[in-house]
Homo-oligomer: A and B are copies of this chain.
Amino acid sequence: MYRTHTCGELRAENKGQKVTLAGWVQKARKLGGMTFIDLRDRYGITQLVVEADAPAKLVETATSLGREFVIQATGEVLERQSKNEKLPTGDIEIKVSEIKVLNKAAIPPFTIEDNSDGGDDLRMKYRYLDLRRGPLKESLTLRHRLAHEVRNYLDAKGFMEIETPYLIKSTPEGARDFVVPSRMNPGEFYALPQSPQTFKQLLMVAGYDRYFQIVRCFRDEDLRADRQPEFTQIDCEMSFVEQEDVLGTFEGMMRSLFKNVLGVDIPNPLPRMSWFDAMDKYGSDKPDIRFGMTIHEITDAVKGKGFSVLDDAAYVGAIAVPGAAEYTRKQLDELTEWVKRPQVGAKGLIYIKLSADGSIKSSIDKFYSPEEIKAIADKVEARPGDLIFVMSGPAKRKVQTMLGVLRIEMGNRLGLRNPKEFAPLWIVDFPLLEWDDETQRFYAMHHPFTAPKPEHEKWFYSNAKEDLERVCANAYDFVLNGTELGGGSIRIHNADMQKRMFEVLGISPEDAEYKFGFIINAFKFGAPPHGGLAFGFDRVCALFGGSDSIRDYIAFPKNNQGRDVMIDSPSRIDQEQLDELQIDLKSAPEA
């Protein structure tokens, strides 16, 4: 062992001990002939002192140290005269008698400080240096702690962690698969799992009763910010359960994570909101309930006053932004431009200012009397000082979604979204199916294994589109601060119902047999009622850490082009490898 103690553990009570530490030189500075060195390791920073009258060789070594040199230092623990209260080791310093340079370091391309001067690209390229910085160390420590707590909680509840395969079969329903050519079976491919969904259901069929796994999943999607081609799930499944059992179990897990990791108490039981309420009030199936500003429908209140934009709309909704009545014309124009961007897609933005002094000003003054405006304001539960935004359109959910996006933006601008405040809830009662106008077919809102609510089965077996649209599922999402952290459902456990689902989704019997034959078949041999859910672990970590970027919670993430710029991957492979796999590149890659 190169050390007797870590750089984080010495205290005043160690005074007088002879110790050896090893670590990185955070900084070294000369002061009146003495050299002060901040020595850093994972556990902390300890100050080393080489005194002016130390042996010449030692002084010389100390003087030669650069940032990030790796050294081993031996000396005596002294109590400091001027203590540093910011450091846990700030009561002591080491009077060094010997320094050994274990490894030199080139000058790092950016500073290894909590706030680095390096840009994103540079820090990604030298990720191993970026990971030395305090904030990233805290992120990964939090991640380890969370994974460990999850495992302890679930183990104690009788869940078994069972590893499912990574080389599975391509079933292109939903996102794209990453595929892996098989050398031993030329022309055939494995796929990397988008989730272990079918395997965990097979484990229920196999009688494992309570399964979980913290597991990597893969999706070959065009990457948006905060998406990674590989990501980690806390994947869970239980047998002989109803929705209530699943919600109770995992609410308990999240409660214990909040308590044990953050020391935060979350409500018991957690609030629940139906998908319909979430859409109506928050314009989102992942509402941020840390602040109000909910959506109110005002369709009836605005109709028939000669304002054709609203008269022609199928739905008119509004939000009241607290205390924003004094927004300037410029701010309102800027917000109008903001909602017109394709990401939101609004045609315009109607506003009503309710000044604190009782005066009202709006962009629709000429169509509505002050009393009518007042009635609208009452409907929106606006108070003096509030700014009301109104949006409308031919499709209710679309308008609600736009208002929801605007609501979040206003929450951000007004500082209502404190990352240290946690407001989790369950969203329940999702529609089972979503109709897609473009492809003229239904898609599964969760996935094709989700069961309809028993009381909606009559509609599920109907062929009328309206009936199918009414079917709800015992599906549920765990939402925190406007982010979906997890979701799941009670599954289909009956082969005939599963076949019906594929039929509803327009998957031909042949296709269903080819892609999912094994699970339909498995259901014939005694499948228990079962259900489960999965949490996006990267997101759980980020939100627990008070961040909205998952990248800081992944040791070696990829960039938005799916590249790992540190190892320069993906990369070309040898012709020999291609030949062995019996594949050709369609076009030669650029050199």
Q: Which of A101-109, A294-302, A374-382 contacts B (4 or more CB under 8 A)?
A: A101-109
Contact of A178 among B41, B161, B180, B588 (CB under 8 A): B180
Q: Which of A256-264, A479-487, A571-579 contacts B (4 or more CB under 8 A)?
A: A571-579
Q: Is residue A367 within 8 Å, beta carbon to beta carbon, of the partner chain?
A: no
Judging by beta carbons under 8 Å apart, are A564 and B161 in contact?
no
Judging by beta carbons under 8 Å apart, are B569 and A179 in contact?
no
Chain B residues, CB < 8 A from A558: 165, 167
Q: Is residue A586 within 8 Å, beta carbon to beta carbon, of the partner chain?
A: yes
Judging by beta carbons under 8 Å apart, are B70 and A526 in contact?
yes
Judging by beta carbons under 8 Å apart, are A161 and B147 in contact?
yes
Q: Which of A1-31 contact B (CB under 8 A)?
A: 1-3, 6, 22-24
Contact of A148 among B103, B127, B151, B526 (CB under 8 A): B151
Q: A215 — nearest CB in chain B belongs to which residue?
A: B216
Q: Is residue A189 within 8 Å, beta carbon to beta carbon, of the partner chain?
A: yes
Q: Is residue A230 within 8 Å, beta carbon to beta carbon, of the partner chain?
A: yes
* Dominant SS among interface residues on chain A: loop
Known contacts A147-B161, A230-B167, A2 near B241 by CB under 8 Å: yes
Chain B residues, CB < 8 A from A151: 148, 151
Q: Which of A402-452 contact B (CB under 8 A)?
A: none
Chain B residues, CB < 8 A from A585: 186-187, 582-584
Known contacts A102-B529, A166-B166, A580-B176, A1 near B570 by CB under 8 Å: no
Judging by beta carbons under 8 Å apart, are B144 and A588 in contact?
no
Judging by beta carbons under 8 Å apart, are B587 and A187 in contact?
yes
Q: Is residue A123 within 8 Å, beta carbon to beta carbon, of the partner chain?
A: no
Q: How far is the CA of A529 from the CA of B24 in the complex (A)?
A: 12
Q: Which of A200-208, A310-318, A336-344 contacts B (4 or more CB under 8 A)?
A: A200-208
Q: Is residue A522 within 8 Å, beta carbon to beta carbon, of the partner chain?
A: yes
Chain B residues, CB < 8 A from A493: 103
Known contacts A180-B180, A555-B164, A563 near B525 by CB under 8 Å: no
Most buried by B among A72, A566, A567: A567
Judging by beta carbons under 8 Å apart, are A189 and B570 in contact?
yes
Contact of A166 among B230, B562, B572, B580 (CB under 8 A): B230
Chain B residues, CB < 8 A from A245: 1
Report A287 CB to chain B, min CB distance, Å.
29
Contact of A131 among B3, B166, B203, B564 (CB under 8 A): B203
Judging by beta carbons under 8 Å apart, are B189 and A571 in contact?
yes
Q: A69 — nearest CB in chain B belongs to which residue?
A: B526
Known contacts A554-B163, A562-B185, A1 near B240 by CB under 8 Å: yes
Judging by beta carbons under 8 Å apart, are B168 and A207 in contact?
no
Judging by beta carbons under 8 Å apart, are B528 and A70 in contact?
yes
Q: How far is the CA of A493 from the CA of B184 in the complex (A)?
A: 37
Q: Is residue A162 within 8 Å, beta carbon to beta carbon, of the partner chain?
A: yes
Q: A165 — nearest CB in chain B belongs to which residue?
A: B556
Other contacts beyond A103-B523, A128-B203, A128-B205: 6, CB < 8 A:
A22-B528, A40-B207, A70-B528, A103-B527, A143-B163, A187-B587
Q: Can you identify 13 A-B contacts, CB atoms within 8 angstroms?
A: A22-B240, A103-B493, A103-B528, A105-B524, A140-B160, A167-B564, A177-B577, A178-B180, A179-B180, A179-B181, A179-B581, A582-B585, A582-B587
